[in-house]
Chains A and B, each alone.
Chain A
Amino acid sequence: MKKANTLSAQRRNKTILSIVLAVICVIYVLPVLTVVINSFKLNTYVKTDTFALPTGEMYAGFDNFIKGMTFGNYPFWKSVTYSVVITLLSTALILIGTSMAAWYIARVDSLVCRGIYYLCVFSMVVPFQMVMYTLSKTADTLKLNTPWTIPVVYLGFGAGLAVFMFVGFVKSIPLEIEEAASIDGCGPVRTYFSVVLPMLKPTMISVGILEIMWIWNDYLLPYLVLDINKYRTIPIHIQYLKGSYGTVDLGATMALILLSIIPVIIFYLTCQKHIIKGVAAGAVKG
C-alpha cells in the first residue's frame, strides 16, 4: 500500500515537473514570437505596443518585409548571398584543409608537426580582439577582403579548434588500415581521400556544424576585413541598420531579423541531433 502511494506520488511529481517545464518553454519561445508579431506591425506601434498582437490599425501586412528588402540602400538578398557564400566556402575550406593537415600531423609526428599542433592549441585561447587590428590590415594588404577570399582568413584564424579535434580523432583510428592501403600500392593522396576521409565523417560533421554556426553569426571579423560598402553579411547589414543614426524603422528591422532567423531554425530542426552532438563534442574538447 505504502509502495503504491509513493509510486503515485512519484508520478504526480513528474507531471508537475512536466507542466513547470512546459511553462518555462513557452516563456523561452516568447522573444521569438515577439519578433514575429512585431514584423507585421507598423513602425510607430513597435515601441509603444511591443507585446500587442498586430490587429486593426497596427497591422502592416507584408509591407515591413517589402520595405526591409531594400532597407538602408542595400538589397537584403545580397547580404543573404554573401553570408551563404562566405559560410559555405569557409567551412568547406576549413574541413578539407585542416583534416589533411591533422592527418599529416598525427601520422608523421615530427618535431615541426608537434610545434604546429601546439601553436594551434595555443591559438584557441587567443581572443579575437588581440589580433583584430593587425589581422584586418594584413588581410587588406593581401587583398583578402572579398567574400571569395575571406575564407583564407577564416581558415587561418579558425584552424586551431578544427586541427585539435581532427588530430584527436585520427589518433584514435588504428594505423593498420592505412598501412594496408599503402602496402597495396596506395600513395598518400589516394590513401587520404579513399581511406582516411570516409573514416573522418563523424568528426567532419561535428567540426562543420561548429564552423557553420560560428561563421554564419560572426560579425566583427567580416566587418573589419570586408569592404563594407560593397559586401555586407546579414549580421553586418542588421547592425548597419540599427547603428545608423536617424529614424530606424523597427518594424522593417524585425521583419529582416525574422527572415534571418527562419533559415537557422529550419537548419536546426533538420539537423538537431548532429548539432547537439557537435556542440557537446566541441565544448568538452575546447
Chain B
Amino acid sequence: MKKKKKISNGATLRRPMRRWAPLFMGPVVVAFCIGFVWPFIQGIYLSFCKFKLISDAKFIGFGNYARALADKSFQHSFWYTALFAVVSLILINLLAFAVAYALTQGIRGSNLFRTVFFMPNLIGGIVLGYIWSMIFDGVLSRYGTSILMETKYGFWGLIILMCWQQIGYMMIIYIAGLQAVPGDMLESARIDGANSWQTLFRVTIPNVMPSITICMFLSLTNGFKLFDQNLALTGGQPFLIQPDGSSVKTTEMLALNIYNTFYGQNTSSQGFAQAKAVIFFVLVAGLGLAQLAYTRKREVQQ
C-alpha cells in the first residue's frame, strides 16, 4: 500500500508532462544555448587561440594567459579593482547598516526616508556616471582641475557614486534582517540592564549576521564586476605613459580593461582579451562560490 502511494506521488503528472517537454523546455534550452552555453564554451576555447576572426582561430596553448598575467595594464586594473572593491565594501556596509538601524528605531518618516535612499538604485550606471561627472567637475572646476586629471579624484569619485547608489539596496536587506531579530531577546537584554551599545553588539549584530554576509559578498562582487559607472565617470582617465611607450589607464577597472583589450585599436589581441576574460570569470565565480559555500555552512549550523 505504502509503495503504491509512493509511485503515484507525482507520476500522474510526470508522464503526460514528458510528452510536452519540447514546449516547456524547448524555448529556454535553445535560448540558453545561444545566450550562454555556446558562447561560454567557445570563449574558453578561444582563450587558447590566436585569431582575428573566429573562423581562423589557431590553437596556441597558454600563450594568451602568460601574456595576460604579464600585462602591466591588467595588473594595474586588478589591484585598482581590488582596492576599490574593499574600500567600497567597508563604506557601503557601514553606512547602510547605520541607516537601516536608524530606520528600524520607530522614528517618524521612516517610510519616506527608505523611499528616498533606495531611489538611486533604479537609475542606470551610464546615466549615474554622467550625473556625477557633472557634479564633480562643477566642484573641481573651482580649483582649476577636473575629475579626469587625477587618479585619486577618479577613485574617490567612483566610491562616492557607488555609495550613493548601493547604500539604499544594502539598507533594504539589513532592514529585513533587523526586523527579524526576536523582540523578546531585545527586551530581556534591556531587563538585564544592557545599555544600547551592548544590546547592539551582543544581541542585534549576531542575529543579523546572515544579512551582513550577504551584503558583504554582494558589494564585493558588485565592486569587481563594475563596468558602466567606470566607463561613464572617467573611462579610465587619466592615462599614464609607461617608459616603453605603452599607456596605463589609471582608473580603469578589470571589466573595462577587458572591454578595451577586445575592442581597442589592436585588432589582433582578441585571444589575449579572452584569456583576461577567463581569468576575470574565475575570480568572480570564486567569490560567488565562496559565498554559496559560506551560506550553506551557516544553514547547516542553524
Contacts and interface: CB of A to CB of B under 8 A. Distances in A.
B172 A51 contact: no
Given A14-B106, A127-B225, A134 B42 contact: yes
Interface string B219-251: 000000101100110010000000000000000
A205 to B, nearest CB: 16
Contacts, number: 280
Contact-residue bracket for chain A: 35 or more
A239 B126 contact: yes
Given A126-B285, A156-B31, A28 B122 contact: no
A156 B117 CA distance: 33
B135 A50 contact: yes
Contact of B38 (A120, A138, A189, A272): A138
A8 to B, nearest CB: 15
Interface in B123-171: 123-127, 130-132, 134-135, 137-139, 141, 164, 169
B32 A120 contact: yes
Contact of B39 (A28, A119, A138, A216): A138
B120 to A, nearest CB: 8
A81 interface: no
Interface stretch (A56-64, A67-75, A250-258): A250-258
B13 interface: yes
A280 B135 contact: no
Interface in A76-128: 93, 97-98, 100-101, 103-105, 107-108, 116, 119-120, 123-128
A7 interface: no
Interface in B39-68: 39-40, 42-43, 46, 54
A268 interface: yes
A76 to B, nearest CB: 14
Interface string A144-181: 10000000111111111001000000000001001100
Contacts of A243: 235
B36 A156 contact: yes
Interface of A: 14, 17-18, 20-22, 24-25, 28-29, 31-32, 34-35, 38, 46-48, 50-51, 93, 97-98, 100-101, 103-105, 107-108, 116, 119-120, 123-135, 137-139, 142, 144, 152-160, 163, 175, 178-179, 182-183, 187-189, 191-192, 213, 216-220, 234-235, 238-239, 242-243, 250, 253-254, 257, 260-261, 264-265, 267-269, 272, 275-276, 279-280, 283-284
The 9 closest A-B pairs by CB, nearest first: A156-B35, A50-B138, A217-B124, A125-B288, A156-B31, A134-B39, A131-B39, A130-B281, A104-B24
11 contacts: A18-B107, A123-B40, A124-B288, A126-B36, A132-B277, A152-B34, A155-B28, A159-B36, A188-B20, A217-B124, A276-B114
